[in-house]
Structure 1
Amino acid sequence: MSKSKNKVPFKTRLYAFLIPLFLGLVSAVLVKYYVFTPVHVPNQFMEPTLKNGSTAYFNRLFRSKQLGIGDIVLVRSPLDSESVFIARIVGKPGDTIHVQKRMVFRNGSLLDPSSFPESASSDIPLIPQGKTETDDMPKLTVPEKSFFLLADNRELGVDSRTLGVVQESHVIATLW
């Protein structure tokens, strides 16, 4: 009677299974929270681009020099470091920005309205106190290492019109 030639101990087989499984789970968690960050959209500030209640994925691996006009970013609030908000970049350092009757002007030129979607519905939800449907803003020059951000739903959104320009260091991630 012959014995099995290459019997592998149970402990070795268990390690051969558990170690790759553990490394895979740790890698998945690290990628999910430190590379691609899932963010629950809690409000209507970016509608129609990002719907209220949906989940958006943001890429934390970016360079601020690569950020461009129209990019959607996740930003730490300049007023409260615990709060974050989502907005679209409309002004980079040195740009002059002003808003007139919902139209955005960058360096005297109208930004392409199709780059900044508007809701198909003409119904504007309850407008917060102090805001109007047009919400005009005088000219402002964006300082170095800063961005001017606007929410797509400008009637409801919190953005650079309220918070001021956002420092480059406050940008956490870009929409993936």
Structure 2
Amino acid sequence: MSEDPSEGQGVRAKQSAGGGWGDTALTMIYAIIIAVGVRTFLYEPFNIPSGSMIPTLVEGDYVFVSKLSYGYSRYSFPFSAGPFDGRILSDEPERGDVAVFRQPTDVQVDYIKRIVGLPGDTIQVRRGVLHINGEAVSRRRIEDYRLPSGRGVPQYVETLPNGVEHRIIELRGDMGRLDDTPVFTVPAGHYFAMGDNRDSSQDSRVLSQVGYIPKENLIGRADVIFWSVEEEVVLWKPWTWPTGIRYGRLFDGVD
């Protein structure tokens, strides 16, 4: 009896289709594993939801945060599901790093601020000037920073003791509510962080809300701005993209 050639072709077609779906599913699984691995161990994207780090970072910036910089804790993992306490493969933050961390008083919340105090340091702000271990940190007045409203506010270049330079702004001059503080002594295993927008930042100067940052709470160092958009940009309204993307900020390093 002769074989019907169309029957064999049908079998081969079904096998090919089945293999195609299986390959696609396997590829998706691999992609998810790679994405989770990159997010957990290498780089994680974060968006900037507030103006507390102006002028370094502004609302609408998206940054890549290096997980390699400080090693890993349970907060490095999705859903804070790390299987250990403390940190492993740990490296110390440097003064001046812009770091993402879990808020000490609410570990469900991510914060991003600049590390200014290391374990054992004394930190104080006097009339707007940061003092570290009793010494005033150098700051140099430069051109005013222009807010989106067009208002100009005082802007300075601050130089930390290790030579790291960065810009800060003072919305209220040196008369803000956090421009005069008591002396803070940073405990062992903790860090002190401040926003570059000194008069509009809840940071380590507010012990009841943020306070000293345990080393375990560090997630990573912000390294690069990979995306930045104005408030009016909406993903499903492509006509807002051309004028709303801040092209000049794309792929800027975070200093």
Give the alignment's TM-score, normalised by structure 2.
0.55
Match of 2:114 in 1: 88
Match of 2:201 in 1: 157
The separation in 2 between residues aligned to 1:118 and 1:11, in whole angstroms, is 60
Match of 1:168 in 2: 215
Q: Secondary structure at the match of 1:55?
A: strand
The Cα shift of 1:12 comes to 9.4
Q: Secondary structure at the match of 2:206?
A: helix
**Residues 1:108 and 1:59: Cα distance change in structure 2 (over 3 Å):** same
Match of 1:59 in 2: 66
The separation in 1 between residues aligned to 2:187 and 2:177, in whole angstroms, is 28
The separation in 1 between residues aligned to 2:24 and 2:102, in whole angstroms, is 41
Q: Which of the numbers 7, 10, 14 marks the counterpart of 2:16? A: 10
- Whether contact under 8 Å (1:101, 1:134) holds in the other structure is no
Give aligned pairs, total.
162
- Whether contact under 8 Å (1:50, 1:56) holds in the other structure is no
| Structure ranking higher on relative contact order (CA contacts 8 Å, 6+ apart) | 1
Q: Secondary structure at the match of 1:81?
A: strand
Q: Secondary structure at the match of 2:30?
A: helix
Match of 1:142 in 2: 186
The separation in 2 between residues aligned to 1:134 and 1:169, in whole angstroms, is 26
The Cα shift of 1:61 comes to 2.5
Q: Which moved more, 1:105-114 or 1:89-98?
A: 105-114
Q: Which moved more, 1:32-41 or 1:63-72?
A: 32-41
The separation in 2 between residues aligned to 1:142 and 1:46, in whole angstroms, is 22
Describe the superposition over 1:101-145 as per-residue Cα deviations: whole angstroms up to 9, x where unpaired: 2221111223341423124xx7x38xxxxx826621122221100
Match of 2:168 in 1: 118
Counterpart of 1:10, as a letter, is: S
**Residues 1:25 and 1:108: Cα distance change in structure 2 (over 3 Å):** same
Match of 1:5 in 2: none
- Whether contact under 8 Å (2:178, 2:205) holds in the other structure is no
Percent sequence identity over matched residues?
A: 29
Structure 1, unaligned runs of 5 or more: 1-8, 126-130
Match of 2:95 in 1: 69
Q: Secondary structure at the match of 1:144?
A: coil
* Pair 1:27 & 2:34 matched: yes
Structure 2, unaligned runs of 5 or more: 1-14, 71-89, 139-157, 160-164, 224-255
- Whether contact under 8 Å (1:91, 1:106) holds in the other structure is yes
The Cα shift of 1:48 comes to 0.8
The separation in 2 between residues aligned to 1:174 and 1:93, in whole angstroms, is 18
Give the alignment's TM-score, normalised by structure 1.
0.77
